Chain A
Amino acid sequence: MNKCYINGIGCISAQKTFDGGFLNEVEVNTTEVIISAKNPDYKAFISPGAIRRMAKGVKMGIAASQYALKEAQVEIPDAIIAGTGMGCLQDSEKFLKAIIDNKEQYLTPTSFIQSTHNTVGAQIALNLQCKGYNFTYVNGAISLESALLDALLQIETGEAGTILAGGVDETSGHTMSLYELVGLIKHKDQVPMDILNPKTPAAVFSEGAGFFVLESQKKSTTYATLEAVGIYNTLRQNEVVSFIENFLTTNNLKPHDIDAVVLGNNGDVAFDGYYNEAERLFPSTPLVYYKHLSGEYNTATSFGLWTALHILKKQEIPQIIQKNQVTKHPIKRIILYNQYRGKDHSLTLLNHADL
């Protein structure tokens, strides 16, 4: 069975995650309930005409994948596997609004064409002229993890040698106002908040894209090996400990074998209890959080994975993401745990490639 090396990463988020640094300068949002992803210079990757036509999700996806491929020095991967929780919201809304407002008449197909969930994966393939395996997973907060699981299985079995896998989600006006209506997004008067001591329900929303090059070969750019991905549709809080224990046992590990845990706390008082449960297994392990920097979106774990991979490579945990005061060196093995509103639980296990 082949090892699965992560050899290149590209991350676009509300922080400067695409300039090679590791959270050297961060902006901690204290005023907004929806934060936008920072735009890289799209002109480096996409023609000016296409930049104007493309929704932000497509642009972020193409740019993030280009960063990842460049770092891993891969021209065309064997497979492209994308994940997105909500797909191409901006074009879906645009087309739907046109249908309703114009009573199904005078419609042009452009936004419909760009509205399908697989648009980002397809556009990346089209740009690269990549005729290989092409998949898109659309399942809330485990959309990225589904892509990673698929990629891991294909690398392990030798079905593919080089895979571009990633996640992308964009914000969009109408959907965000519906989310505010049903209480998924915090009220303006509920920020600033202390994400680790939440007093109110809901989260601060955002958007972003993270793509990763997974390969069967180790390279000078290797960050880590992807060892395992666990996915579970729905759990009660008192089932979290056994979910994690079972995952560790399957991978022949005990909690003390883990050197850092990256948690998806988003400041939602109704659901962050899941992370408190997870922490009970790791009383003397460094804990990391990141959604105060990235905001919440279905594929925000791409920011978490980017963070974990940098921790392994640089062997340091910046203070801004330390959830407790525990330190451990060397950092050989990291696990990420995420869930969203009690659903779509995921565990991602990474190993340092040398240590």
Chain B
Amino acid sequence: MPNKVAITGMGIISSIGNNVEDNFHALINGTTGITKTDYLNTIYKDTLKFGEVKLSNQQLESILELPTNHRFPRTSLLGAYAAAQAIESAGIKNINEVPTGLISSTSVGGMDKTEQYFYEYFENEAIRRFILSHDAGETSHQIADYLGIKGLVTTVSTACSSAANAIMMGARLIKAGKLERVIVGGADALSIFTVNGFNSLMILTDDVNTPFDNNRKGLNLGEAAAYIVLESERQVQKNNKKVLAYLSGYGNANDAFHQTASSENGEGATLAMQKAFEVSGLKISEIDYINAHGTATPNNDLSEGRAIQNVFGKKAPVFSSTKPFTGHTLAAAASVEAVYSILALQNNMVFPNKNFKIPMEELDLIPQTSLLEKPVHHVLSNSFGFGGNCSTLIFSKS
């Protein structure tokens, strides 16, 4: 069995851009997407900042050319938009020509509509079409239908590590020969539900997030969708496909420590990274860049930092968190960062960890704070979530 899977397309919409190119320009120019919200109806409008996509639902509907009575919540709008880009970028014309699947991921699904119409559903018949758009799987069905995919469609939901796991399962299906190609990634829209959930846990900053800084105060929530196209080696050769990068390793472990907090010693994260190395067959010295989870919560960055030291010892590679650009985009985070990892490989660049000032007391780790140009052959990307879910992906140059 081949130990790497080809990536032939990618698409993204985030607070720093509506496509891959715009995201890349924001990353190299240091332009953040963290702002006050334009669309979110929350009492925290004036006190919190978000990584909000700069398109309204109406704009997205019109770009996607949806009928006026469509049933897409914002997660599906973002997901369909980014997944369509990924397919175009992979040069796929006839989507069902070979067995093609969609493994999507989301944490909120259609929660934006549910919270908007929670009681109104009982009075207003016209909006009831959104009732069945609530569940996570339905958003994947909507994206698959929009793309015209007929076949294996499923959804992973493991909180903030979701998209990494969707990518991992996609790779497993390609390796086992169950699919010839699969669109994998995640989509999550901002919602009052998550804003209040994270706020009640007191892990939102009232400023901008500062990953790995000693005075970090928490995260900014963001929204995004990003997808990559995985293809079998057979398809790549048959169609002489351009390969953007390879997925060369993946690992998944559970911290089994607490429902929402990470263990202080970073055990789950350590195991996830070690497993990814096993799958890839790479040596730790071969990693040129770590795109860290780095949410800027006190708990995550300490746990992840310890895990990096557990795995790499004193020779940690250059690392940065790109969350100061996008905010924490929850289920989509790992696919957003998969796109950034591929961009790092393609352009031989490490994107800066913005907003960092003072090193953490507990650790001897300093992130890359400015744009760095250097040869990048292998990128390791971490994503961790509630429920102790820890995932690591390794991307390699084509």
Interface residues of A (CB under 8 A from B): 80, 85-87, 92, 95-97, 99-100, 103-105, 107-109, 112-119, 121-123, 125-126, 128-140, 142-143, 146, 150, 153-154, 156-157, 159, 174, 177-179, 181-182, 184, 231-234, 343-344
Contact = CB atoms under 8 A, between A and B. Distances in A.
B316 interface: no
B382 interface: no
Contact of B253 (A112, A131, A156): A131
Interface stretch (B80-88, B145-153, B287-295, B340-348): B145-153
A234 B1 contact: no
Contacts of A129: 256
Nearest to A129: B256
A131 B268 contact: yes
A171 to B, nearest CB: 14
Given A116-B387, A150-B172, A86 B135 contact: yes
A135 B165 contact: yes
Interface in B44-75: 44
B256 A125 contact: yes
B173 A153 contact: yes
Contacts of A150: 169, 172
A116 B136 contact: no
A104 B204 CA distance: 15
A135 B144 CA distance: 22
B118 A97 contact: yes
Contact of A133 (B109, B121, B252): B252
B91 interface: no
Given A80-B254, A132-B254, A115 B165 contact: no
A140 B135 CA distance: 8
Interface string B149-178: 111111111110000010001001101101
Given A80-B254, A104-B192, A181-B128, A138 B197 contact: no
B43 A99 contact: no
B31 interface: no
Interface in B75-111: 102, 107, 109, 111
A85 B155 CA distance: 10
Contacts of A178: 121, 131
Nearest to B275: A133
Pick from A103, A128, A131 the residue with the most CB of B within 10 Å.
Answer: A131
Contacts, number: 189
A25 to B, nearest CB: 34
29 contacts: A80-B254, A85-B135, A85-B137, A95-B197, A96-B115, A104-B42, A104-B43, A107-B200, A108-B200, A109-B197, A109-B260, A113-B260, A116-B159, A117-B107, A117-B159, A118-B157, A118-B158, A118-B387, A123-B259, A126-B259, A129-B256, A131-B271, A132-B254, A134-B388, A135-B169, A146-B154, A153-B178, A181-B121, A233-B144
Interface in B5-20: none
B136 A113 contact: no
Interface string B245-280: 000000011111111100000011001000000000
Contacts of A104: 42-44, 192, 196
A19 to B, nearest CB: 30
Contacts of A344: 137
A119 B388 CA distance: 10
Nearest to A150: B169
Given A117-B159, A344-B137, 15 more contacts: A86-B135, A99-B192, A109-B260, A113-B259, A118-B159, A134-B252, A137-B156, A138-B109, A139-B155, A140-B138, A157-B1, A178-B121, A181-B122, A181-B131, A234-B141
Contacts of A100: 115, 118-119
Given A118-B386, A232-B150, A233-B152, A99 B137 contact: no
B252 A135 contact: yes
Given A131-B267, A138-B156, A157-B176, A118 B385 contact: yes
A104 B47 CA distance: 13
A122 B254 contact: yes
Contacts of B169: 135, 150
B358 interface: no
Contacts of A146: 154-155
B337 to A, nearest CB: 19
A135 B267 CA distance: 17
B114 interface: yes
B161 to A, nearest CB: 9
Contacts of B254: 80, 122, 125, 130-134
- Give me the 3 closest cross-chain CB pairs, A-B, nearest first: A122-B387, A139-B137, A112-B197
A113 B385 CA distance: 12
A99 B121 contact: no
B138 to A, nearest CB: 7
A112 B203 CA distance: 13
Contacts of B107: 116-117
A155 B223 CA distance: 36
Contacts of B268: 131
B193 interface: yes
A95 B259 contact: no
A131 B389 CA distance: 9
A233 B150 contact: yes
Interface string B381-397: 00001111100000000
A96 B114 contact: yes
Nearest to B129: A182
B252 to A, nearest CB: 5
Contacts of A140: 135, 137-138, 141
B140 interface: yes
A234 B145 contact: yes
Contacts of B140: 139
A234 B150 contact: yes
A136 B201 contact: no
A184 B152 CA distance: 24
Contacts of B157: 87, 116-118, 136-138
Pick from A118, A123, A343 the residue with the most CB of B within 10 Å.
Answer: A118
A318 B42 CA distance: 56
Contacts of A92: 193
B159 to A, nearest CB: 5
A189 B193 CA distance: 36
A135 B176 contact: no
Given A87-B157, A140-B135, A157-B1, A118 B389 contact: yes
Pick from B115, B260, B387 the residue with the most CB of A within 10 Å.
Answer: B387
